[in-house]
Amino acid sequence: MNNKSGILRIDKVVAEFEVWLDADLFPFPKMKVKVLQRSEDFAAFSNVSRRDRFTGFADGIAGLGGTADEALRDLLTRFDLDVRESLPQSGYVEADFAWSSPEDF
């Protein structure tokens, strides 16, 4: 695409996954993951992010890789590490997470 068209980039959705989660850790049973093929790599995004309990903001985590599988594994590794490092003593509740808009997934 040229810049005169108004389109800067096109990413291709190459995979979507439903990831079932540990009920002892999460207050919901599953999340969705979308993997995009970009111009030089693959990126994976989930439809849920953990909120910081102090600020209330949710920082999204992405996975990157040279293949769709690598991006998926990277995302799941980062997501798991993030939720385990931030696990409150009382456990997570639904309000500890922010969900993407349904139309994004």
The model's pLDDT over 45-98, given as tens digits with 9 standing for 90+, comes to 999 999 998 898 998 899 999 999 999 999 999 999 999 999 999 999 999 999
Average per-residue pLDDT in the chain?
93
The answer to whether position 42 is within a domain reads yes
Q: What is the pLDDT of residues 1-32, one digit of tens each?
A: 555 789 998 999 999 999 999 999 999 999 99
pLDDT of residue 1: 54
The answer to whether position 105 is within a domain reads no
Q: How many Cβ atoms are within 10 Å of 14's Cβ, its own excluded? A: 14
Tally of domains within the chain: 1
The answer to whether position 104 is within a domain reads no
pLDDT of residue 32: 96
The answer to whether position 12 is within a domain reads yes
Q: Which residues of 44-66 are buried (b: 16+ CB within 10 A; e: fewer)?
A: bbbbbbbbeeeeeebeebebebe
